[in-house]
Chains A and B, each alone.
Chain A
Amino acid sequence: MVEKFDAIVIGAGPSGNAATYTLAKQGLKVLQLERGEYPGAKNVQGGIMYAHELEKIIPDFRDDCPTERHIIEQRVWLLGDDNYVGTNYRSEAFNSDKPNRYTIIRANIDKWWGEQIRKVGGLQICETTVTELIRDASGKVIGVRTDREGGEILADVVIMADGVNALLAKRAGLQDEAAPENVALAVKEILFIDPELIQQRFGIKEDEGVVIEIMGKVTKGMVGTAFLYTNKESLTIGIGCLISDFKNGDCPPYRMLEDLKNHPVIKPLIEGAEMKEYAAHMIPEGGYKAVPQLYGDGWMVVGDAAHFNNAAHREGSNLAMASGRMAAETVIELKAAGKGFTASNLAAYKKKLDDSFIMKDLKKYRELPGIMHGNKQFFGAYPDEITAAAHNWFTVDSIDKKTKEKQIMKSFIKRRSVMGLVGDAIKLVRAVR
């Protein structure tokens, strides 16, 4: 007998979980399909969770959600060859009852999500890969076919939350292949370390955490960033660059990560830690211009599969959760109104996105990916010059400050000409304005 559901959600990541939970909580008959052996088996997110979005879906998540540390300090570092220039922001305000950001380990969080979904009556089935969408004669999506015997399942609407590769949408011709300059490859490691050492080295207490976002020479001139997060008993360290750059370059990702770990300012932070796992993951970085068609007859796409990722602010999971929730709310509203899941009715989902921070933020930074990609000086010459300038400025050597300023300016201009510098500044201002 072929099973039929109100909705099928494909994928058990943040966007799929948000959608499934929201639908199940409203009493809809929802099936979530995950190809991994268990939720979290297939993902390797670096590990920041944004409370605000999760609160909208599960207000009291803090009661039992297995987070690592709440973040009280954010550092942004520009690395040179053996130095860094950086800014830190730390505030006791982040130590409130309801902290805003947490470091997490996805395997734990996704398992917790699964429990929450079951609690509200959602059906989560793992180890099952959706191979294709089933459509009726008019082309409307009416269900999915899985890789299992008797694997046809029907639904009024299918929500695709199957991650950056968006295999289903591509296979169904609903999305084009992502361009290599729109996808980053990130590699990360979880390093086990004594919590006492974490607290000592980062100057924090038991539940407090620090996040370091890193740019600079470590990406060897490629467009990319690196990060270091403090978990309870481990550190997450990773680095990511655009696939197109890895293709051209001759530094493989794991080598880049090794170099990062051996960088003189990073090494002391991770000394004595033991690698627990290594993983590679793709991140959609194309921004606004890479966002595909988001809905059609009987289907919607959410999360990474929709390229909802704000590369400039390194936000992804909150966009994922928000888009999943909005897709679910669209389904709930249409169903309550007795309306069908036609493309024109599902346009309400796009409207919700447009009205929210998701599309607004992506639009704001729409030029940024292109600029970064076409202007490699941001990842090579600038880190050099800026760290050299800082070195010059902070070295006390009886040279007057005015001369120092001139030296610094001269050095910048030598590397990148006045027009180049001005141009870069204008581009950046335009991109982030």
Chain B
Amino acid sequence: MSEPSKPQGRKFQLPEHLKIYKNVWVIVEQERGIVHSVSLELLGEARKLADKLGVEVGAVVLGAESPDLNRICGDAIGYGADIVYKVTDPALADYRTDPYCRVMTDVVNTHKPEIVLLGATTLGRDLAGAIATTLATGLTADCTELDIYADNRSLAATRPTFGGTLLCTIQTLAYRPQMATVRPRVMAMPERDDARTGRVIEIQPDLREEDIVTKVLNFIADREQNEAQLAFADIIVSAGKGLGKVENMKLVFDLAKVLGAEVGVTRPLVQAGWATNDRQVGQTGKTVRPKLYIAAGISGAIQHRVGMEKSDLILAINTDPNATIFDFAHLGLVGDALKILPALTDAFGRRLSVNRMAG
């Protein structure tokens, strides 16, 4: 991906009353005591932006008072926050648009951050769309790169458009705060620094449950479902049309089993009914960032590429030496995936079992 190396934004002067907006915020997404990893990735990104601007990083943690919430506040500081706004109320226990939106609007209006970042998740996008409206400010969705225009300190938010075929950089004019949601697994996960210190500002909003129309009746966790957990897999073996027929998917699952990997697929395979859409990697599927991504029989269309190109190591297997995927894979193997997949399964199996005997 390219960087706006010499940032050149729209030239404009920020009105005086907006200059008091300072600091870069991350709204930390937590549900049931679990922090979404994108929030930690964003703290790392917010740190970089704040350092460029010479300001502080704020983390907003919302929820019902609990030990988990305190742990999360500590984590936020460890991952880069200088200030944690800990917003607690029993009505914030589960995510609901209305109370979250009301509270966030107040907190932003009170503390006036210049940038507010959220993960481009179902929660982040739901909330961001609402508060950008109440704050009447600009919001850029699903970003893959963030930077600062040095000349006027404004946020340069870059995002894919038209199915990933183009990138565009979006700037918010004379409105504050500047808001963006950022795609998970695109920004690098920062290292936790236990030595970091920060301050926690406790906020208790005035919420009354009877004023909130929407009630959460139940929560069915995915762990109870049999869905693929692609987004967080360390190793993914993915299949494309090059596999020829649905029966050959077994070869991919066999290799994945030996490696303890998840299986991914391209969109055409989901459309052909070879796999369920929870396994789809790409623009309209999941964005993944595993340590190893093995792409078997995948040509490398842009729609797939945007979902996996940030993987640490990509091995592509394709019969066509001119396949696009070799343009951005790290390792390439020209050959028939149908033959190489079983050979890889065997070879990995042997190497790993030898070690077990030795160990």
Chain A in direct contact with chain B (Cβ < 8 angstroms): no
